[in-house]
Amino acid sequence: MLTALKPQPADKILQLIQMFREDARADKIDLGVGVYKDPTGLTPVMRAVKTAEKRLWEVETTKTYTGLAGEPAYNAAMAKLILAGAVAADRVASVATPGGTGAVRQALELIRMASPDATVWISNPTWPNHLSIVKYLGIPMREYRYFDAETGAVDAEGMMEDLAGVKAGDVVLLHGCCHNPTGANPNPVQWLAICESLARTGAVPLIDLAYQGFGDGLEMDAAATRLLATKLPEVLIAASCSKNFGIYRERTGILIAIGEAAGRGTVQANLNFLNRQNYSFPPDHGARLVTMILEDETLSADWKAELEEVRLNMLTLRRQLADALQAETGSNRFGFVAEHRGMFSRLGITPAEVERLRTEHGVYMVGDSRLNIAGLNRTTVPVLARAVAEVLRG
Ligand code: LMR
């Protein structure tokens, strides 16, 4: 049986982690996978997480099973963080999931159960794993235009044209903030237009919210999600705590399904069913830490302060990189880097140039020229800018 298995292509992002580890050069720079690194190159455990872990060890008396949908307190705390009461609680069903990927996967399975013929529309480009999971589940898929490679901004016109062709009941996968991989995001006016378009066509948004707090702040980053959740009859939200709580390996996420109050019980039952089929109970450790932090005023304030430091550090790096690239290349071609938000920007250089950055300069980024801004620091910014300029000179 096992001999019948076909080889699987390696995940392009995760493959970079291994290649980087195997590179012996001391001055190599990792701008691949989306992990935050502080100016010393460390991915720290956040202060509030450390404190919560210590407290948890002291007060935890059992490791018996949690609820099938996760601990109600976690689900409530996350709904509050994301929706801030924008939607009546009796319209909100949710399950804790293993990370944001788990939430995306459960959302897509829910869509397939509810409406097997629905097409899922994804942005071109999107996080490669979106494509991969949709394909794996055999769900009909189409792309909508999203990115203008010339300007480095959202191709708002193309996007709106494509969204106008979406059918009622189709699903539009949106990045709630900090678009991965481009770093380009709709502005509030454009979000309003997206919302109106979805209302007109009767399409259901599936919002991937993996970077709340990494773009314009916790509230602003959730603004588009809250808008859609308030204005549209049905909304799915797949959120992750990996980045904003820095608990990548704890696998902490949530899927929120908003619909009619009368149908909430059935939606919740289906979410519970999906958890049971796929892994029974969701992981609890990270979820418990998140709950403890969000429920405790002091811990919460400390977490928000540290998250804000992270965000501002990324913004500073963006400005520094845009300036350094301008100085090294003599053109404003990369000015968009300072305008983008979140961990990523797409530089818009060719795969061959990306390859040369890796082989000649030890700079690792994804083949589509997506770089993780948070992998840089004050010392590596000028090194990267010089390397890019050198590669561009041919
Ligand atoms: C990324 O895009 O680098 C992150 O979301 C990590 C991942 O799982 O791909």
Co-location of 136 and 256 in the same domain: yes
Using the predicted structure, report yes or no on whether residue 303 has a pLDDT greater than 90.
Answer: yes
Residue 1 lies in a domain: no
Co-location of 274 and 169 in the same domain: yes
**CA-210 nearest atom, ligand 1:** 5
Using the predicted structure, report yes or no on whether residue 146 has a pLDDT greater than 90.
Answer: yes
Q: Whose CA is nearest to atom 1 of ligand 1?
A: 34
The C-alpha atoms of residue 135 and residue 114 are separated, in whole angstroms, by 17
Domain containing residue 91: 65-295
Confidence of residue 229 (pLDDT cuts 50, 70, 90): very high
CA 150 to centroid of ligand 1, rounded, Å:
25
182 CB within 6 A, ligand 1: no
**CA-11 nearest atom, ligand 1:** 9
Mean pLDDT, residues 259-276 taken together:
98
Number of structural domains, the chain?
2
Q: pLDDT tens digits, residue range 35-87?
A: 999 888 899 999 999 999 999 999 999 999 999 999 999 999 999 999 999 99
343 CB within 6 A, ligand 1: no
Q: What is the pLDDT of residue 41?
A: 85
Q: Got the DSSP string for 140-207?
A: -EEEEE-EETTTTEE-HHHHHHHHHTPPTT-EEEEESSS-TTT-----HHHHHHHHHHHHHHT-EEEE
End-of-domain residue from the set 271, 295, 319: 295
CA 174 to centroid of ligand 1, rounded, Å:
16
Using the predicted structure, report yes or no on whether residue 129 has a pLDDT greater than 90.
Answer: yes
CATH number, position 140: 3.40.640.10
Q: Regarding beta strands 370-372 and 344-346, do their DSSP bridges make them parallel or antiparallel, or are they unpaired?
A: antiparallel
The two structure tokens encoding residue 149:
């490679």
Residue 39 lies in a domain: yes
Co-location of 168 and 212 in the same domain: yes
The reported pTM is: 0.97
Confidence of residue 306 (pLDDT cuts 50, 70, 90): very high
Q: pLDDT tens digits, residue range 9-21?
A: 888 899 999 999 9
Co-location of 374 and 242 in the same domain: no
The C-alpha atoms of residue 182 and residue 185 are separated, in whole angstroms, by 8
Q: pLDDT tens digits, residue range 194-223?
A: 999 999 999 999 999 999 999 999 999 999
Co-location of 79 and 163 in the same domain: yes
127 among known catalytic residues: yes
In this structure, are residues 177 and 211 in contact, taking their beta carbons and an 8 Å threshold? yes
Co-location of 198 and 81 in the same domain: yes
The two structure tokens encoding residue 310:
């992270």
Residue 55 lies in a domain: no
| Catalytically annotated residue among 103, 210, 229, 257 | 210
Residue 60 lies in a domain: no
Q: Whose CA is nearest to atom 6 of ligand 1?
A: 34
Could you tell me where the DSSP H helices lie in the chain? 12-22, 47-59, 72-83, 99-114, 128-136, 156-164, 188-201, 218-231, 264-278, 285-295, 297-329, 336-339, 351-361, 380-392
Q: Whose CA is nearest to atom 4 of ligand 1?
A: 34
Give the chain's mean pLDDT: 97
In this structure, are residues 270 and 110 in contact, taking their beta carbons and an 8 Å threshold? yes
Using the predicted structure, report yes or no on whether residue 298 has a pLDDT greater than 90.
Answer: yes
ipTM: 0.94
Mean pLDDT, residues 130-144 taken together:
98
243 among known catalytic residues: yes
Using the predicted structure, report yes or no on whether residue 394 has a pLDDT greater than 90.
Answer: no
Mean pLDDT, residues 259-283 taken together:
97
CATH number, position 388: 3.90.1150.10
Mean pLDDT, residues 123-128 taken together:
97
Mean pLDDT, residues 317-340 taken together:
96
